[in-house]
Amino acid sequence: MTDPSPYVSDRPASGCPVVGNSAAAQLYGPDFATDPRMTYHYLRRFGPVAPVELAPGVEAMLVTDYDAALQVLRSPKTFVKDARRWQALAEGRVPPDSPVLAMMEWKPSSLFADGERHRRLRTAVRESIDRLDQHTLRKYVTRSADKLIDGFGPAGQADLMRDYSALLPLRVCIALAGFPSSYEDIVLAATAGVMNASGPEAARLSEEFLGHLYDLVAHKRRQPGADLTSWLMAHEAGLTDDELVGELYLLIGAGTQPEQAFIGNVLRLLLVDRRFAGDFYNGTMGVEEALDEVLWVDPPMANFSVHFALHDVHLGGVLVPAGVPTLISHAAVTEQLSMLPGQRIGNRAHLAWGAGPHACPVQDEARMIAAIAVERLLDRIPDMALAVHPDGLRWRQGPFARCPESLPVFFPPDFSALAEDSARTAPPGWGSALAPARPNEDSDQGSNGDWRRRFWATISRNGA
């Protein structure tokens, strides 16, 4: 990877919370996307939990304190997941085209289940995932990553969010679900649309995606295979078709949006942070350390884990009304914990994966996929630089996922083919002898050297 110094900014991000007529801070809009920490600091004035607005007309409570978060996450008899208890939605006070409904409205899946039903569905999911052959999964993720890199590598430029981070988890989840290869483009379009659209268009695409899932279930009833859908279908829990579709919708949704944010945030860290880029290039730090840093500093799901109090509850002296969505700010509580003495790298005390009965059931697989995605990209194209100043990156708007909207990079366009050949003979990892020469080395000659001189000159001009 190139020295990121021309693009590194040591200035803290600016911004302030956008506050309406009440104390409820807005978790949407460009100011919140740019600097959510300012909003979290403002909310802490009100105690461990404070009123927020997730989208226009959508009120909620946000937990910003670590101990209070654990109290919510680990108290299933007080705080439940069943979104049918959302009082404002039941009374028609939530705009029907609100962009948060796709993530928060009740569905027949374990995410919105409690008690015995939750245990039954979660056990079926976890035991079906346990049937995955990890070696085969690693090979499939690697092949999928290579296919995407082969697509943009010859161009010498890419948007790593659009062309890589957003597509790789989707392809993996679609394959694990058992969709026929002929469905891949159709399902990719439908799922990507659900993630990126809002209002009536999101509802239409969601219905279209659900239709594909029901088709898949019907197909697997006739012809089961070695895939998650067939294993869920055969599980002793006896899932109905609606429950199967609900779990598949959840697995694909939870396996894509948070995962693409995770991969994108790690790649951004390596491109803009002197500590990590320099240590990676020198071989003194690995991808696992970068994953830990992101989970502490920019967890992919910044605010989620929606719960509903069964009755009015006080958290740290603050009233949490029954029937009001109560979200955990994974970003805020992790930031609070990171202020304490101790080493972040290798420390898994953060709440990026949640906690309690609804903690992410596939966090090990999610971490493995992200690690392979990052390692494979950097093995194939190590000489890469951000194409804009870090301050020019825009963050995805909305209350839930935290990641850049785009991550434009450029690199020597002939490297992809060289790396594809060298990968057969060189072990993966940083510092390979077959990696492109640095710009001041003797191999910076000929046509490739000419391109690299222009490449570094462009970096210098843009960073000036």
Query: Could you report the per-residue pLDDT of 46-80, keeping only the tens digit for each?
Result: 999 999 999 999 999 999 999 999 999 999 999 99
For residue 408, give the 3-state DSSP assignment.
Answer: strand
Q: In whole angstroms, how far apart are CA 118 and each of 42, 70, 107, 130?
A: 35, 19, 13, 18
Question: Looking at domain 5-433, what is its CATH homologous superfamily?
Answer: Cytochrome P450 (1.10.630.10)
Query: Could you report the per-residue pLDDT of 305-345, keeping only the tens digit for each?
Result: 999 999 999 999 999 999 999 999 999 998 877 655 555 55
Query: Could you report the per-residue pLDDT of 278-314, keeping only the tens digit for each?
Result: 555 554 457 888 898 899 888 999 999 999 999 999 9
Confidence of residue 360 (pLDDT cuts 50, 70, 90): confident
Q: Identify which of 115, 383, 167, 437 has the alpha carbon closest to the alpha carbon of residue 271.
A: 383
- For residue 424, pLDDT over 70 is answered with no
- For residue 148, pLDDT over 60 is answered with yes
Residue spans of the domains in the chain: they are 5-433
Query: Residue 301: phi, psi to the nearest 5?
Result: -100, 95
Give me the DSSP letters along 81-129.
--GGG-HHHHTT-S-TT-TTHHHHS--SSGGG--HHHHHHHHHHHHHHH
Q: What are the start-end ranges of the E strands in 166-223?
A: none
Query: Could you report the per-residue pLDDT of 432-462, keeping only the tens digit for each?
Result: 222 233 333 333 333 333 333 333 333 333 3
Query: Could you report the per-residue pLDDT of 6-47, keeping only the tens digit for each?
Result: 333 333 333 344 333 355 899 999 999 999 999 999 999 999
The pLDDT value recorded for residue 238 is 95
Report the DSSP pairing between strands 25-26 and 49-55: parallel
- For residue 427, pLDDT over 50 is answered with no
- Joined together, the tokens standing for residue 81 give 């997941």
The pLDDT value recorded for residue 72 is 97
Confidence of residue 255 (pLDDT cuts 50, 70, 90): confident
The pLDDT value recorded for residue 111 is 94
- Joined together, the tokens standing for residue 185 give 């483009």
Question: CA geometry: angle at 60 spanning 54 and 64, to 5°?
Answer: 90
The pLDDT value recorded for residue 207 is 81
